[in-house]
Structure 1
């Protein structure tokens, strides 16, 4: 590496070009229209011609091909995304529909209305046709044993279990599934907000790579970088809270309309 801004290091780098080539296994040529007009490149080629054969020269595609290669790769990615996006949206909409219906299903849960395979098949084995034991009766008996110790007529254990599901198990399932204010898990909301702000991330990286107008070092440079990062994060946090509170307000408005309309 030849330092162009420090004269002493620049002189040492140019003087060591020959030793650098001798210790190298091969010379990679990144060819462009200016390759044979640059002095350092010609010196490297000259040293290589003196010491080694042409087999140790590896030439890559011209640098002018790089934008076209980038365009080709980008076009392939966009085409693949356009093919996969409808499939992803289909499954995503199905997931949202299930999550949206989950609070109603939990609130209206009744053990008596739950489905059972044996009852759906009229208590017969679908393959052999033989009569099978009713699973529902076994479950009811288990609940009776839990709540009444298997004694007495019972009858209240089903309602007790229904209340347990609605008030204890239900809220935990709703929270884990994301069926709360936004009807989405928090990690999904975060991903949506992050993806929508990814284009601005390229501007942030570019500004940090360019550095401040006035050269800074140490803690001052760190604070300057953190200032840019926080500027990028501010819209993300605003969008996140906006999604949470706006849909909370929408849900409250729907409840108000249902109550008074």
Structure 2
């Protein structure tokens, strides 16, 4: 999460001129075979020049600055917004539902064994259904809360310069958050008679809280600037792998 948090800042200062390539790092000679290597940087630059400034003066970096602007204006905002999603909701639902399915047979067996059809039996069925369904609700709540805690832990690690401190702070928050949702329902199921509707109301409240948590505004860093860098730096030495 810490590395993902750095992506918007990297996009904000993106310059293709600062990209580096493997071939230049090895003086355009293959380190094992000794064969000559074509320059990846030169090929990319020539392609940009064909696209945007075929008639530009020799030595001009107009096509490179135009590419930099394109990355900042179109690519960077989309990437930054995508970072705020973190967990696709429908995949999380699939995971939560399939984790619960094996235990559904226990509830069906208990319900089938009951021969009494009074109103209390209907409440009894709801209470046993809640005992089964709270697992999925708590899982959805925990996964969404974990995204916030991961980002919080990343900030704590940077501020305190200690990953262990971040773990000892964030882990209890995750545990107590899930307990705050699950324990009231578990205690009410154990402490109230089988015709008491209190667990049903608490279960509905837990569903509402989970829905609000997933619909809450996504916590993300400010979007990268759409303005190109005002400074044009001299091209750096090429001494690493090529990356854009």
TM-score category, normalised to shorter length: 0.3 to 0.5
Higher relative contact order (CA 8 A, sep 6+): 2
Question: TM-score if structure 1 supplies the norm length?
Answer: 0.40
